[in-house]
Each structure stands twice: as C-alpha cells, then as structure tokens.
Structure 1
C-alpha cells in the first residue's frame, strides 16, 4: 500500500519495515527490540550531559550554578517538543495498530506543522526575555553567565524541537535504531566539541552552548534526510495535500498537551527546588543540585528508553484492541526496569565520592565535593521505584490517557517532591540534606501511587471490554 511516487527506493514509504513487523509480534519481545536501542541512546545522551557538566565545572562553581539556572528552561523546551512528539507518536502508533496508514500519515504531517508553530511561540520569548527570567529565578550574581549560556541554547530552539518530534515519529513506526544512531552521534560529537570550544578556543561557558547547538544541528540534518529525502520510512509525508484538521489536532493534543505539561511540571519543579535550596543554603547548593541531578538523569536514562518502547507498543496493542496484552507488557517492563535500576543504584552509591571529586577539581568548586557526595548517597534510593512510576505513565500515554499521566506527575513532582523537600529542610531543620531526603520521599510515594492507578485502569479495561481483535495481523 504505497502511495508514494518514489519507485526507485529500496524501502518506499508504506512498504512493510522491520519496525512494523516487530510491533506485530510478541509485545514483550517488542519492548526489548525497541527498548534496548533507546536505552543505549538515552544513556549516551545523559553521559553527554554529565561530560558537559564536567567540562563546565572547570570554570568554577558560578558556571555550574549558571547551568543550573538555565537547565530548567532548557528542559522546558525539551518537555514541550517531547510532549508534542509523544502526542503525535502515540496517535500514529494507534492508527498503525488499527491498520489505517492514511490517517497515520496525516497525523505525522500535522505534528510537523504544530512543531514549527510551537518553536516560534517558545524560543523567541525565551531569547528576548532571558535576563528578567533569570533574575526572577534567583540567579543573582550568576545572571551574566546564565545569559551567556542560555541565549545561545534558546536561539537553537528549532533544532531541539525538530530532533525530538522527528525522533518520536521514527519510533512510532518501530524504527528505534535510526533514532538511536542520531542521538548517539550527536552526543558523541558534543562530547568532542565541548573541551575544544570551552578551553582550546577560549569561549568559556558560551563554548558549551555552541557545542550543544552545533551537535543538535547535525543530528537534525541526519533525521531530516531519513524522513524527507531518502523516503524509506513506513509513514510518509504529503505536505502538498495538507489541510488542517481540528479533529487530528485534538487527538495529538489529547496526549501531547498533558505530556508536555507533565514534563514542564518537572522542569518547573527544578525551578522551585532551586528556590527551596537558596532559602536554606545559597547558589552553591544550586550547583550541587545541578551536578547531582544530572547524575540522577543518567541513572534513570535506561528507564526513559524502555518508556519510549512501552508507549509505542502499548499504543499499537491498544489500537488493535488486544487489551489482554497490556498487563503482561506493563509488568514485564517494570520488572526489567527495577532490575536495571537496582544495579545502577548500588553502583552509584559506592562510587559517589569519586563521582563528586570528578566534578569539583577546580579550586573554586572543591568546597562542594562533600555536598555532592551526600546528594548521590541519598538520591540513589528512589531509582528502582522510579521504574514503577515512569513506565506506568508511559502506558497511560500510549493508550491515549495523557491527562492521567499528567495528574500523576503533578502529584509526584510538583506537589510531593518540593513539599517534602521544604518540610525536611526547613521545618525539621535538616538543611540541604533535608532537601535531598524530600526528593527521595516524594518520588517513591508518587511512583507507587502511579503504578496503582495504571494497574486499576488496565484491569478495568480488560474487565469491561472483552479481548477482541478487530483486524487480522498482517501487512497493511
């Protein structure tokens, strides 16, 4: 069922791809096949974030704090683009699961147009109002450094939005490998460029920002070639016939908007946590949090990879009305996640002093070594339970229940985590250490609650809607 005029390609749009065959097979095997490449890609991506922090740490604690103030807004851009990608990808997976390729193509085109609109609405204001934003965030003496780093990143907003949305479209049709290749190539290139731009070219913190933007640009070019020039994806783009459809926009938004708000709430949580930290400590505490949280992000990166697979596979399964496959899929992915995160948690705990030392080699940041060690030796406790919350949210998103995923995240990240951090640090007088214990407490309780909610949702779905495959598995 190929509607493309490109007849000379080896794999034309609409031809059955390896990814589509994977989605049609055993869901648990699909989780592994799609999840493993994304686990590797996300891990390498997070390693880059850590290496980026390492190189910037050589510029001193103020530079680390500056990145800490920019990071929530950088995460907000990633949140919005990832949310849109999840919304479009989830809708595409469900259309493919119900064997409606034409509708899947239409969703893909709408997702791209929404990406361009969102880029303009977000990147331009952030660039123009960077200084008052950082002042309001409490950057204090690090405002100028935050501006140097932030404005360059904000200017490259189109690259952030495109790579996240386009990668999600690739994954929605089961093509996790090429998404992995692009992410790994970009991350490795960034790792190479960081020391060159920061130290060799003497660009300082601006060099770190330019290395990020250049790497994103090359990654975007790779994905653009696959989607629009090579024409070997299952989903195809027909921009010439595009007519805005409010129904499709609503379907994308049903998952995309809550997903974006969900990740935005996590970015906003970082802003609140920075304010809590400043209230009980100072900008050094923000520097500790900036380093420590990046270690946490790399620790849970495998879960993010598994989560992208859970969303794609659960969307396909849900679209095909194979509801009895959802619970085994969920439990298998959580079991896999807990095993992986337990190993990472143990590893992180014992290596905490060495990790902290790596990021405090500069004389001006040596005084925060013990605080970073303390953070890492407390934060590791919530890694395993994060599997329950994050992967449950992914299933909500895959089955179109984006609002449920959003509510669960708001309760965990925006309410529980800052609340317990404030109570432990301020009212119990535990200071900076109390912030870290609050972080753990909020995440563990929130993850358990989210799992319980999705468990009841799937059970109710199975009980009230009998297993009924509306189509016979096979080629479209």
Structure 2
C-alpha cells in the first residue's frame, strides 16, 4: 500500500489511526506489564476504594444487620461479577490474538457481536438473581433484618447487571488494543460518580443501604458511557451483525465458558466461607466483610495483572514471539511478589487503624488482626494462581484454569475450612483458606511454566 501524499494527510490520523499496530510485540516487556498493570490497578483501586468507603459509611450507622447484609449481598454479587469477568477474559484473549495477527476487521466484527451476547446473558442472570434473592441469601444463613436488607440491595442492583457487564467488556477491548490509559479512565469515572453519590444518598437522603444500591447502578451507567466514548478512536465497534454472532460465540465462547467456570470457583468458595462464618454470629461476618473490602484495594495490582497481562501474552502469541510470552509471565510474578511484601508490611503496621475506622467488634477484631499479621502472606500464592490462570486462558489451555480454581474452591477450601471451624472457630476458617491457596497456587504456577515451555522454540 503506497502512503498518502503529505499535502493531503489529515493531521488527526497520527493520533487516532483507524488500525493500530500490535504494540506489545515490540519494546520492553516489563515496561508493558508495569504500564498495563499499573493503570489497571489505579482503576481497580478507585472502584474498590469506593466499595470500601461505602462499607465504611454503612458501618457508621452502627447497625450490625446492615454490615452483615452487605457481606451477604456481596457474596451473591461476586457470582455475577465472576461471570462477567469470564466473558471479558474470553473477549480480551480472542481479540488480542486477532490484533496481534493484524486482523483488525475480524476483531471488530467478533467483538461487536459478542458484546450483544454478553448483554443478553447478563440480563437473564440479573433478573434471576433479583427474583430468587431471598432463597439464595437464606442458604448463606442470612435471617431477620440482615436478610431483608440484603434482599433489597440485590433487587435494586441485580437487574442493572447488564450495565456492569457491558462496561467490563468495553474496558477489555481497550486493553486488547493496548490503550491502558483510557481503560483506567473508564473505571475512574465510575469511581468518582460513586464516591460523590454514596454519602449524599446514604446520609443526606437517609436511604442507608438502598442509597448505596442506587449509587452502584449510576456508577455502572457512568462506566459504560465512558467506555463508548473512549473506544471511538479505535474503530473497534460496529452494529452487531447477526451472522457474526454464532462464529463469535464459538470462537470467543471456547475461551469464555471455561473462564466463567474458572471464575465462579472463587465466589463459590467465598460463599462457603461466609456460610461457615455466619455460624459464629454477625460480628464474625462483619470481620470477614472488612477483610473482603480491604483485600481488593490492597491487592489491586495483583488483581489487575489478570486482565492486564492477558493482552500482552495474546498479542505475542499471535505474533509467535514465544520468548516474550515467558518473559511476560516472569515480569508478572516479580510484580506480584513485590506487591504482597509491601501490602503485608502496611497491613501489619496499620491493623489498629483498620479496627478503629470500621468499628469492628467482638470476634471480628481477632479475625482482622490474624489476617493483617500473618494470613495476608497467603495472597502471594493467590497471586501465583491468578497469573497462572491468565497464562492458561491466553495460551489455549483455559480448562487448566478451571481445574485449578475449582480445586482450590473445593478440595482447597471446604475440608480445610470445615476442620478449622470445628477445632479453632473463625480463625481456623481463615487458616483453612490460606492453606488451600498455598497448595493450589504453587501447583498452578508450575503447570503454567510447563505450558509456556511447550509453546515453541524461543528466538
């Protein structure tokens, strides 16, 4: 293709070319990983920090039923979010490979068709959750006012799940083309909306948990709107072609379905933990809920690696740069180790501040202290599992992710948690969780190295 004459070239083309080159197949891998994971972590940290702030606001109402309700409702909501994450993993992995192979038109066609499928699935799941919310919550031992409040929260937020799913899909497309900055901008937009509305709705209008639910919906809407705006310069969206839906589902679904199964394992294990904690009262549930809000903020970088490293691996796999795929895995592991060490130090030093801020009481105090002092170290192995899952999903072995995640959620959680709860109470539950993470995180990362070693010759 001959270049256009200089005198007729548009000055806007260099800033927003219709077809961008695969940016991850050249340059420093560590720089790409730090840029993608760092911007992703900022966005995730903002979102989870707002969630943490939301929990702080509710805790200041000094009603254990409300803090317990958040814990119960969040356990159910995590199931929804895990489905969305699985869908976006499939979307990002497939589109990343097509971009790496310079098949931009096919990438746009597949992405647009699959986004329509994602929205339809999210609507069905959201409505089902809203209808059967009380039944699901009773399975977690929720009762009384905590049950009523958790049901209210889910029946407001669950039908808006398509907004969350679509927003995550648009963010995955931005990461697939290497635009980490705009992907971060999306999540920051939603976080800003939620941070502004939460105190107004919860305290100003005295809506309590209902106000938090309304704020959640508006935040999701803001993220989705921002996603469409930020994708305009990438030429990655078109009106969905009905004929493209079936091949898109077959191609992307081959990665997304096992990824969904993989991601459902984590909330399933969390549901069992919440059920076990509920036997020791609302203070135990509130202590666990405090940990569940701190962890995503503290380990935002580790969580961001899952979505951020995938496109780097996918593009280099598409370009057959196998040495860079292995280098990406090593870079992710180094960042994970550094993040866990710094977080462990920060939580160990700041545990009393955490207890004061969130007004944790009773056995919840012991739960938070044990976690901050010792059990936070287990997230090194959870990080290993996350990084391994990213490798499996993007290198053609998604069922390995499914196997290791479900192994951790079942064999690595249920027997250890049951024994821990029986002999050592709530603290034993935390130790049981940690032991399972050590076993399956180690096995997963060793398998990931074996998979990469078999990809092909290095150059």
TM over 0.5: yes
Quote the residue 2:7 is aligned against: none
Q: 1:33 to 1:162 in 2, by over 3 A?
A: same
Change (3 A) 1:184 1:12: closer
Cα deviation code 1:245-294 (max 9, x no counterpart): 53431221122112222222211111111122234x12322221111122
Offset at 1:169? 1.1
Distance 1:332 1:425, change over 3 A: same
Q: Residue 67 of structure 2 is aligned with which of 53, 64, 67?
A: 64
Q: Are 1:348 and 2:344 an aligned pair? A: no
One of 23, 40, 43 as aligned partner of 2:42: 40
Q: Do the aligned partners of 1:378 and 1:437 also contact (CA within 8 Å) in 2?
A: no
Shift of 1:238: 4.3
Q: Would you say how many aligned residue pairs link Structure 1 and Structure 2?
A: 448
CA contact (8 A) 1:39 1:305 kept: yes
1:295 Cα deviation from its structure 2 partner: 1.2
Distance 1:384 1:181, change over 3 A: same
- Please give the residue correspondences for 1:247-326 in structure 2 after superposition, counting only pairs within 5 Å: 247-279=247-279, 281-326=280-325
Asked whether the 8 Å contact 2:355–2:368 carries over to 1, the reply is yes
How far did 1:366 drift? 6.7
How far does residue 33 in structure 1 lie from its aligned partner after superposition? 2.1
Match of 1:377 in 2: 373
1:189 aligns with 2:190: no
> How many Å separate the matches in 2 of 1:283 and 1:250?
45
1:459 equivalenced with 2:458 (yes/no): no
Describe how 1:107-122 pairs up with structure 2 within 5 A.
107-122=110-125
* Whole-angstrom CA distance in 2 between matches of 1:147 and 1:368: 24
Query: How far apart, CA to CA, are the structure 2 residues paired with 1:163 and 1:435?
Result: 35
In 2: Cα distance, 1:383 partner to 1:417 partner: 15
Q: Give the corresponding residue for 2:4.
A: none
Quick check: 1:206 aligned with 2:210? yes
Is the CA contact 2:283–2:362 (under 8 Å) kept in the aligned structure 1?
A: no
- CA-CA distance at 1:192 after TM superposition: 2.3
Q: Structure 2 CA distance, aligned partners of 1:357 and 1:136? A: 31
Q: 2:99 aligns with which of 96, 99, 110?
A: 96
Q: TM-score w.r.t. structure 1 length?
A: 0.89
SS of residue in 2 equivalent to 1:466: coil
Q: Deviations over 1:194-242 (max 9, x none)?
A: 1111111100111111111111111211112233xxx311524243x44
1:210-229 aligned within 5 A: 210-227=214-231
Per mean C-alpha deviation after superposition, the further-off stretch among 366-375 and 403-412 is 366-375
Shift in Å, 1:378: 3.6
Partners of 1:357 and 1:369 within 8 A in 2: no
1:173 aligns with 177
2:5 equivalent in structure 1: none
Matched, 1:404 2:407: no
User: 1:134 maps to what in 2?
Assistant: 137
**Cα distance in structure 1, aligned partners of 2:366 and 2:217:** 33
Residue aligned with 2:40, SS? helix
Q: Measure, in 1, the Cα distance between the counterparts of 2:374 and 2:182.
A: 36
The alignment yields a C-alpha RMSD, in angstroms, of 2.1
- C-alpha spacing 1:436/1:458, structure 2 compared with 1 (3 Å): same
Q: Contact 1:352/1:373 (CA < 8 Å) preserved in 2?
A: yes
Change (3 A) 1:456 1:22: closer
Indicate the SS of the match to 2:20: coil
Distance 1:21 1:310 in 2: 13
CA distance in 1, matches of 2:330, 2:24: 19
Q: Deviations over 1:447-469 (max 9, x none)?
A: 111101101111122xxx3348x
Contact kept, 8 Å, 1:226 with 1:232, in 2: the verdict is yes
Contact 1:321 1:467 in 2 (8 A): no
SS at match of 1:311: helix
Q: Distance in 2 between matches of 1:72 and 1:456?
A: 34
Residue by residue over 1:169-188, the C-alpha shift from the partner in whole angstroms, topping out at 9 and shown as x without a partner, is 11111111111011112113
Task: Please list the CA deviations of residues 379-398 of structure 1 after superposition, one character each: whole Å capped at 9, or x if unmatched.
Answer: 31212333322112111112
Between the aligned partners of 2:198 and 2:452, the Cα distance in structure 1 is 46
Q: Provide the rounded CA distance (Å) in 2 between the counterparts of 1:438 and 1:302.
A: 25
Q: TM-score, normalised by structure 2?
A: 0.92
Structure 1 unmatched runs, 5+: 2-6, 469-476
